[in-house]
Amino acid sequence: MIRTFLILALALGLACAAPVQAQDIPAHGIAMNGKPGMPAGYTHFPYANPEAPKGGEITYCVVGTFDNLNPFILKSMRTTARGVTDAIFGNLVFEPLMRRSRAEPFSLYGLLAKSVVMDEGRTYAEFHLDPDARWSDGKPVTPEDVIFTYETFAEKGRPPYSTRMDRIAKLEKIGEHIVRFTFNEKSDREFPLIVALTPIIPAHAFEREAFDQSTLKPLIGSGPYTIEAVDPGRRIVYRRNPEYWAADKPSMRGFHNYDRIRVDYFLNSNSQFEAFKKGLCSAYGGPVYTGLDPNHVARDFNFPAAQRGDVVVESFESKIPPVVVGFVFNTRQEKFSDPRVRRALSMLYDFEWVNRNVYDGKYRRTLSYWQNSELSALGRPANEIERKLLAPYVDKVLPSVMDGTYGVDGKDGLDREMMREALALLRTAGYSLKNGVLQDASGRGLAFEILIVPGEQERIASVYQRALARIGVQVSLRVLDDSQMQQRKQAFQFDMLIAGVGFSGSLSPGIEQVGRWGSESANAEGSFNLAGVADPAVDAMIEAMLNARDQETYVAAVRALDRLLISGAYMVPTQHNTLQWIAYWNYLDHPDVNPLDGFDLSAWWRKPQ
């Protein structure tokens, strides 16, 4: 009888207990769509060598200058020292709650936070900090540091960090090592991942009132390196922290293998390359921080060290959409406010000539913002989901872009027919060609200035300038150094310039698209919305993308956004190559497996002597 009663009581107790939901269990990783690729208990990222030898020194060489070590403020934003928090060299000083794996489109794994709890709707996220996490001065990383970071960024930080509190209803400490974010109605399904990627700063090492001032004082962070020496504008040196708390954590194993990292600054790419040839720089090339193309490799690598084999030149295949580089229209200017004008001028970039004479025919024309992926609208008619999304804005999408025929005619050269089509389109916008000058109805000629930096941009801009002159458009070129260019970008003081959209291509575009194309960033000083795009249609597609709950809807939303950006002609995309070229001295080595975007310098090492 007693035994029966106990069994019944136990059964009733289990029935009354709240069921444990899968989403309430702390997870080792999260993905934007679906599940993260690596299971709990993974030992290292697939493109890292956990047995990589430690030691030695590497010198990175960059073009530009720096006058600030704080990467989170608007002042000196574009002249902050490289490496403090850096997509190319790695986040040497400051770290986020979770770390992104570049072997997957968008998956994060534990770092400062060893795990995360979220509900199905992603209305909240609880980050469980790793009890081992330490700042470089030995003090523990706490929930109070996370709260201080967000409050300080909101009050004194730069975009996009300064706006993240706008999507957070409540931020609180709910345990010794747990911090909980409750999101408001402005949030979306990607935002918890953005929170997880936000670098965290120590509350005890910063004064909030002075946070927005530039500084050259070495900063305290949780990252693998500390700042050893600073020579403003010329050099910054990092030393590996022998007490780094995460050296053997799975997401960091095999990375940051040098004892010392030096970043030297040069005035231009010519002096940078000469320094590399002399052995002053360990590597030259890569996806973003300097230019190296097949022609450069064929033409300029006959110096003695390369002939001896001391310098290695290698290419890596990128499996993500290429960085979109081109001539960016400043649509804040009245002359570029009409999309018909922008479309007409976009038709006059002579890709075929540039590819043949500058790139030896080794490049492809860039026509889509997610080219070479399923996210691209090229060659694909809009499906039912896309058409439904675009229904209120169908007049903003060119018919050829909607039906998938845009760019498939194979015409990349500039001929008389193309020029006649451009002039016809300009006439619909109120322009006419009189006495060799393209004029509007009031007699004002269409004239503008292109900002460029010395080197390859000059050759490409000159080709474009000559083509535009043939239809009476007066274009002048202004050469600026890197510092001047960054200042003009930050304040949007230009008619047109050559630039890349953001930092890189992506198989998982997300909230960064707001900063590149969203209305809220159009006039936010320092944003990457260089074109000044402020279009409700674009905003709607970004919102649909961020709130998509399945892959089919997500892909449709990105393609719809692609169609709007192509049709809007906010820039004149130029060309791309899917190979990433890098030259390096043979004392460096790298893993056999590479990430989706080509290679990761932070996973390389120096060969033991």
Residue ranges of domains in the chain: 325-576
pLDDT score for 398: 97
Give the integer Cα–Cα distance in Å for 495 and 451: 8
pTM of the model: 0.79
pLDDT score for 54: 97
Is the preceding omega at residue 202 within 30 degrees of 0, hence cis?
A: no
Per-residue pLDDT band at 410 (split at 50, 70, 90): low
Q: Do the beta carbons of residue 226 and residue 238 sit within 8 Å? A: yes
- Judged against a pLDDT cut of 60, whether residue 5 lies above it is answered with no
∠ CA(282), CA(286), CA(291), 5° rounding? 100
The predicted model gives 77-85 an average pLDDT of 88
Rounded mean pLDDT of the chain? 91
The better pLDDT of the pair 286, 200 is held by 200
pLDDT tens-digit series, residues 316-341: 998 999 889 999 999 999 999 999 99
pLDDT tens-digit series, residues 159-217: 889 999 999 999 999 999 999 999 999 998 999 999 999 999 999 999 999 999 999 99
| Nearest by Cα to 505 from 329, 380, 325 | 325
∠ CA(105), CA(88), CA(191), 5° rounding? 45
pLDDT tens-digit series, residues 559-572: 999 999 999 999 99
Per-residue pLDDT band at 7 (split at 50, 70, 90): very low
For the chain, how many helices (H) and strands (E)? Answer: 16, 27
Give the integer Cα–Cα distance in Å for 553 and 177: 37
Put the strands of the sheet holding 107-110 in their side by side order.
29-31, 107-110, 98-101
pLDDT score for 289: 46
| CATH class of the region 325-576 | alpha beta
Give the integer Cα–Cα distance in Å for 37 and 581: 28
pLDDT score for 76: 76
Exposure pattern of 269-307 as b/e (b: 16+ CB <10 Å)? beebbebbbeeebbbbbbbebbbbbbebbeeebeeebbe
pLDDT score for 286: 65
Q: How long a stretch of residues is the chain? A: 609
Half-sphere CA count of 171, side-chain side, radius 13 A: 17
Give the integer Cα–Cα distance in Å for 582 and 290: 10
Residue located via tokens 């918890």:
192
The predicted model gives 252-257 an average pLDDT of 98
Q: Rounded to 5 degrees, what are φ and ψ at 479?
A: -90, 125
pLDDT tens-digit series, residues 109-141: 999 999 999 999 999 999 999 999 999 999 999
pLDDT tens-digit series, residues 415-450: 889 899 999 999 999 999 999 999 999 999 999 999
The better pLDDT of the pair 31, 21 is held by 31
- Judged against a pLDDT cut of 50, whether residue 383 lies above it is answered with yes
